[in-house]
Amino acid sequence: MKILLYGDTQICPHSEWSKPVERGLTSKLSMYLKFFSWINELIDSEKPDVCIHLGDVFENGNSVDTLSMFTAAEAFHSQDRYLGINHVEDYKLVGNHDVYSRDASVHTLAILPGTAISSLRTRTFKDKLTILFVPWGTKEGDLDEMLSDLETGALSNTKIIVSHVEIEGADLTPGVAQVRGVPLDKFKYPTFSGHYHHPDKKGNVTFVGCPFYLDYRDQITPIPRGVLIYDTESKETILHPNPHTK
């Protein structure tokens, strides 16, 4: 199976960087629309089985402005058509920027197509692939329990984890490590993490990174940005660089 992974889109006008362009959208919002059109082409050409947004779809979980809502609607309803035609399953992890309530039960992803994941859960797919979804708000004790269940679960051949939680030892910016969160070594299976904007790999954890340069911090190092496709058979991860990063 092929899994398309990306995250941390943090949709908002980014007005401090942008001048209004066509239809009152800012240049950053126009960038989002170009990026999502490019993903649609990728879905058509690569034909993944599953598409996962790793969280922080929107910038602000307390209120979404009209321009951001319009951009997200255009992007995700169009994506939904491409996913439907290609029979791709669609999941979105709830990230800290998407939540209104502390327990993540009230969130902005409710208005979007696809399945929003707001609580810890597993899903087993064809080819005996099990994905453990770890959204924002997951308690470490619950994660420990789920990880030990995953270890003893004999039914799956392949196990992967997708997460949007704080990970101890992850780089907030290059060279500045997060000092709290779930220890890196708890992720015993291939893990794809959102939340951290710099693409990186530590242990089993691939930090997918933000697909564009959203602020100055994102531009500290010129690491290629884009979306990943993970092949569960070859265990290969391929980066498809995003041509619309600014």
Among 120, 109, 114, 174, smallest CA distance to 147 is for: 120
The number of beta carbons lying within 10 Å of the beta carbon of residue 114 is 18
Is 18 one of the binding residues for Mn ion (CB under 5 A)? no
Give me the least distance between CB of 108 and Mn ion, in Å please: 13
Q: What is the spatial distance between Cα 38 and Cα 146, in angstroms, rounded to a whole number?
A: 36
Is 95 one of the binding residues for Mn ion (CB under 5 A)? yes
Handedness of CA 100, 105, 109, 110 (dihedral sign): negative
Is 96 one of the binding residues for Mn ion (CB under 5 A)? yes
53-72 footprint of Mn ion as x/- string (CB under 5 A): ---x----------------
Give me the least distance between CB of 171 and Mn ion, in Å please: 14
Whole-angstrom CA distances from 7 to 110, 183, 209, 242 are: 17, 21, 7, 13
Residues of this chain, 181-200, that bind Mn ion according to CB under 5 A? 195
Q: Which is nearer to Mn ion, 13 or 61 (CB)?
A: 61
Residue whose beta carbon is closest to Mn ion: 195
Q: What is the spatial distance between Cα 100 and Cα 97, in angstroms, rounded to a whole number?
A: 8
Among 132, 134, 52, 147, smallest CA distance to 90 is for: 52
Q: Which stretch binds Mn ion (CB under 5 A): 70-78, 90-98, 120-128, 144-152?
A: 90-98
Q: Look up residue 93 and give its DSSP letter.
A: E
Give me the least distance between CB of 41 and Mn ion, in Å please: 27
Give me the least distance between CB of 197 and Mn ion, in Å please: 9
Q: Which is nearer to Mn ion, 66 or 216 (CB)?
A: 216
Give me the least distance between CB of 182 and Mn ion, in Å please: 14
SS3 229: strand
Whole-angstrom CA distances from 147 to 33, 112, 166, 193 are: 37, 29, 16, 16
100-139 footprint of Mn ion as x/- string (CB under 5 A): ----------------------------------------
**Contact footprint for Mn ion (CB under 5 A):** 56, 95-96, 195
